[in-house]
Every structure is written in C-alpha cells, then in structure tokens.
Amino acid sequence: MTGRRGVALEPAEVARRLPHRHPFLLLDRVDDLEAGVSAVGTKNVSIADPVFAGHFPGNPIYPGVHMVEVAAQLCGLVVSSDEQEPVLGYLASIKRFKFLALVVPGDQLRISARVGASFGALTEFAVEITVAGRVVASGVLAIARAAV
C-alpha cells in the first residue's frame, strides 16, 4: 500500500458495488481503497458461516477456495472503483496461490490486493491474506472486466 489513504467502504456500500449476495458475498468491508491501484479489506470468519456445516464437522476449517473468492471480490472493487455504477468482473486466473496456515472460526482475514500487469480488460493482482499479522495465503489473481 502507498502512504496515501484511500476511501473506506462499509458493508452496505460493499454490497451495493458487488453483484454477490448471501451466502456468497464474503467481503465484510473495505478499509482502504485506492481506485485502480490497491485495496485492503476484511473478512470476519464466523462459525455461523454456512460453509462450516460441511467443512468439516467437529474440525471447522475455512476453505481455501473461499479465501481466493474473498480476495477476488476485493480485486473486483479495485478495477471498478472509479466507475459510477458497479462493473461486473470475472475471476479469470489463479496463479501461484499458496495456503500457509489454517483459518478457523474467530479469525479475521485482512486481504490486500495490488494491481499488477493489465492486458486490455484483464488485470492481474498480487494478493496477500493475513490473520493477526501472519500471512495465511498469497498469490496472483486475474480479473476480467465484462464487455459492455
């Protein structure tokens, strides 16, 4: 992140800007959004999350695919944040994603995403997810903006 502070988005604004809805709207809030550059967001992992009904009973572990998805939602906000209306984006690529620690109910994910290379409607992001300052996952995601 740069030394500049961007805008923060409360949960209602996140929901307005993303096409996802319960139970797949995973991003709780955005703490720092610099349009077209980077963002930092938060996901509070709760035992009430529907995924824990089957992943895994008696040993709840937050799925890696959900960590990738919450990061992709944050990336989608970065690529569309300078638009008046929400812009639909699609997760196009997942590269070199590593999961370094288990995430469990009660953890708070801090997701950071920084724009990398862009190719037309495709934008790559370096993504890092931490819990209490410790990196639990990282990798590169590409988001494709939908054709208008």
Q: Which residues are marked as active site?
A: 55
> Counting runs of H as helices and runs of E as strands, what totals does the chain give?
2, 7
Q: How far is CA 14 from CA 7, 52, 144, in A?
A: 12, 23, 19
Cα dihedral 12/136/32/75 (nearest 10): -70
CB-based contact 44:108 (threshold 8 Å): yes
Cα 14-98-92 angle, rounded to 5 deg: 55
In degrees rounded to 5, what are phi and psi of residue 14?
Answer: -60, -45
